[in-house]
Amino acid sequence: MHTVNEIVETLEKNFHVILDEYKTNIISSNNLNYEIWFKSTGKLPPYFTLYVLWLTLSSSVGKYEWENVDQNKFPKTFNILKPFNLSEFAFAKLGGNNRNELHVDSTPDNPMIRIHLPLIVPKGDIFLEVNGERLKWREGKCLVLDTSLPHTFWNYTGKERINLLLSLA
- Give the pLDDT of residue 115: 96
Residue 72, burial from CB neighbour count under 10 angstroms (0-12, 13-18, 19+)? exposed
- Give the pLDDT of residue 47: 54
- Give the pLDDT of residue 127: 95
State what percent of residues in the chain have pLDDT above 90.
62
**Secondary element (H or E) of residue 143:** strand 143-146
Distance (Å, whole) CA 142 – CA 102: 21
AA letter at 55: L
Q: Which domains does the chain have, with CATH numbers?
A: 4-28+61-168 (2.60.120.330)
pTM: 0.79
- Give the pLDDT of residue 122: 95
- Give the pLDDT of residue 125: 95
Could you give the C-alpha distances from 81 to 61, 88, 95, in angstroms and in order? 29, 10, 25
- Give the pLDDT of residue 88: 83
pLDDT < 70: residue spans in the chain = 1, 27-63
